[in-house]
Chains A and B, each alone.
Chain A
Amino acid sequence: DIQMTQSPSFVSASVGDRVTITCRASQGVYSWLAWYQQKPGKAPKLLIYTTSNLQSGVPSRFSGSGSGTSFTLTISSLQPEDLATYYCQQASSFPYTFGQGTKLEIK
């Protein structure tokens, strides 16, 4: 199975800050990488697919980059509504696997 490791596991930032979350795969997943946002008590929501494609309706302050084994999710200017846990997911091969999550706190 492909292991996905996110860093950091917890991040605290202020409104307006630029926030970057990293996801590393135990083997190459090409560009088959997505990011999800899960707000407290809610179901996850797809933010970015195939590394850098923004899902419809997602604010443009979210962006993704990377390839192979190293990927990043960037929030260019943090907003209060971005309080959530963020997960990466690989779709290169079954079983599909998620990172352990990064909890984002607003200072």
Chain B
Amino acid sequence: EVQLLESGGDLVQPGGSLRLSCTASGFTFSSYAMSWVRQAPGKGLQWVSAISGSGDTTYHADSVKGRFTISRDNSKNSLYLEMNSLRAEDNGLYYCARDPWSSGSLNWFDPWGQGTLVTVSS
């Protein structure tokens, strides 16, 4: 069974840093592109970052570019999101999600983890 388990969410002050992790199981992790998608409380979905299966190619939303870095360690079946200079608008539930297919595509998100909560507040 494919499973994605996020961790690392916490309460942090504005300007602070966090590192989110997503541990994958049930599939060949290195064969799939991965993404982070966030959801502010009571709001819709916002794509944050994506990374290819090899880790060679990454993409970030403009709102997080220069502050967030997506990475992966295929030997540990793990995806990461390094978050710096956090702002109130970064509040939300952060999901990791896999691309459905191992063809090298990076288009869709399925399945998703259950999310980890990031709260930025003084």
Contacts and interface: CB of A to CB of B under 8 A. Distances in A.
Interface of A: 1, 32, 34, 36, 38, 43-46, 49, 55, 87, 89, 91, 94-101
- Considering residues A32, A49, A87, A96, which has the most beta carbons from chain B within 10 angstroms of its beta carbon? A96
B45 A95 contact: no
B37 to A, nearest CB: 8
Interface in B55-112: 59, 61-62, 95, 100, 107-112
Contacts of B59: 94-95
A91 B112 contact: no
Interface of B: 37, 44-47, 50, 59, 61-62, 95, 100, 107-115
Contacts of A46: 100, 108-111
Contacts of B108: 34, 46, 49, 89, 91
**Majority secondary structure, A binding face:** loop
B12 to A, nearest CB: 23
Contact of B47 (A55, A96, A100): A96
A44 B114 contact: no
A99 B112 CA distance: 18
A38 B114 CA distance: 12
Contact of A45 (B46, B47, B112): B112
A98 B87 CA distance: 22
